[in-house]
């Protein structure tokens, strides 16, 4: 099972099984910082450009997964997005001939801390700048490192026990029909095939309410192979989004990845 690393090395919390690559991985010590395989990110934040919102600007290499990771970070920090715009600046044609991707994404975001009536401007813009810059400076090779078993909040994905299929288990307080709709929509939307499924019910330890427990065996719909590491990450993201809303209105599925700013 994948475990979160020491808090001094990365910027997410202590729970196990983060589906994201860390901002620093000891296995990547041989990677040269600034090499084409690594994402370079620069962030700036200020409270001067809008009366109620903070401005967050990010310039980052246009490598796969950047916006997904940035959005996960924002949710983990309980930052709400009020307005956003971004453009990709294409690299030179010489870089493309060399097989390098030097495209850059320029992102402008207007954000607040918290939700609803408690929403306010960023209390520490410098801390946010540092957090975003460090978190996005990751090597894309890290995203391809295989996870064996990842688990969070009733979502369990095993990509190693079965040679041909990816095994998942989801526990939900929704009814059987409601949870099936969410799961079937996720599987279909991600282009996956549900080869086997089984529904059982457990009793909640705290409330005693029935809990729907789905066990499924998945493959890619087109090639009928087990999921790639990227697909596993996308599946966990989507299931967490569907099943892990927090009571405060935030995205509960993101909170274990990011240590809160204080």
What's this model's pTM, rounded to 2 decimal places? Answer: 0.55
- Confirm whether 92 is domain-assigned: yes
The answer to whether the beta carbons of residues 217 and 196 sit under 8 Å apart is yes
Note the pLDDT tens digit of each residue in 17-40: 333 433 333 333 444 444 444 557
The three-point CA angle 80-69-9 to 5° equals: 110
If asked whether residues 177 and 133 sit together in one domain, one would say no
CA distances, 161 to each of 149, 164, 167 (Å): 9, 9, 8
In total, how many domains does the chain have? 2
State the pLDDT at residue 146: 56
Residue 170 lies in a domain: yes
Q: Is residue 55 part of a domain?
A: yes
Q: Report how far residue 119's alpha carbon sits from residue 35's, in angstroms, rounded to the nearest whole number.
A: 39
Last residue of a domain, one of 92, 126, 144: 144
Structural domain includes residue 213? yes
Choosing from 123, 144, 165, the residue where a domain stops is 144
pLDDT at 124 over 70: yes
Residue 197 lies in a domain: yes
* 47 and 88 assigned to the same domain: yes
Q: 13 - beta bridge partners?
A: none
- CA-angle at 261, arms to 31 and 24, nearest 5°: 10
3 state DSSP class of 166: strand
Instruction: Check whether residue 139 and residue 33 sit in a common domain.
Output: yes
Q: CATH code at 163?
A: 3.30.70.380
Residue 206 lies in a domain: yes
pLDDT for residue 199: 96
- Mean residue pLDDT of the chain comes to 75
The predicted-structure confidence for 173-189, as pLDDT tens digits, reads as follows 888 999 999 999 999 98
pLDDT digits (tens, 9 = 90+) for 220-234: 999 999 998 778 877
pLDDT tens-digit readout, 69-116: 788 788 778 899 999 999 999 887 655 555 566 789 999 999 999 888
Question: What distances in angstroms separate CA 11 from CA 54, 60, 221, one per listed residue?
Answer: 22, 18, 35
Residue-wise burial string across 222-260, b where 16 or more C-beta atoms lie within 10 A, e elsewhere = eeeebbeeebbbbbbbbbbbbbbeeeeebbbbbbbbbbe
Both structure tokens of 166: 């990816």
| Domain membership of residue 96 as a residue range | 26-144
């Amino acid at each position: 099972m994948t475990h979160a690393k020491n808090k001094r090395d990365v910027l997410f919390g202590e729970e196990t099984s983060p589906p994201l690559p860390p901002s620093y991985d000891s296995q990547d010590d041989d990677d040269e910082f600034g090499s084409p395989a690594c994402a370079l990110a620069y962030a700036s934040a200020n409270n001067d450009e809008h009366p109620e919102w903070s401005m967050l600007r990010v310039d980052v290499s246009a490598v796969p997964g950047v916006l997904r990771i940035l959005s996960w970070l924002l949710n983990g920090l309980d930052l709400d997005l009020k307005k956003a715009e971004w453009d990709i600046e294409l690299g030179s044609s010489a870089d493309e001939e060399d097989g390098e991707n030097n495209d850059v994404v320029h992102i402008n975001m207007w954000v607040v801390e918290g939700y609803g009536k408690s929403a306010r401007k960023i209390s520490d813009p410098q801390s946010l700048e540092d957090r975003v810059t460090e978190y996005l400076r990751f090597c894309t090779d890290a995203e391809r490192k295989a996870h064996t078993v990842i688990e969070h909040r009733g979502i369990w994905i095993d990509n190693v026990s079965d040679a041909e299929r990816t095994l998942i288990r989801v526990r939900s307080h929704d009814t059987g029909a409601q949870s099936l709709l969410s799961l079937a929509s996720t599987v279909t939307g991600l282009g996956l095939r549900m080869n086997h499924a089984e529904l059982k019910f457990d009793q909640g330890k705290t409330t005693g309410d029935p809990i729907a427990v789905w066990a499924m065996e998945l493959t890619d719909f087109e090639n009928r192979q087990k999921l790639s590491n990227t697909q596993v990450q996308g599946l966990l993201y989507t299931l967490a989004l569907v099943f892990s809303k927090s009571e405060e209105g935030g995205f509960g599925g993101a909170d274990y990845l990011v240590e809160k700013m204080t």
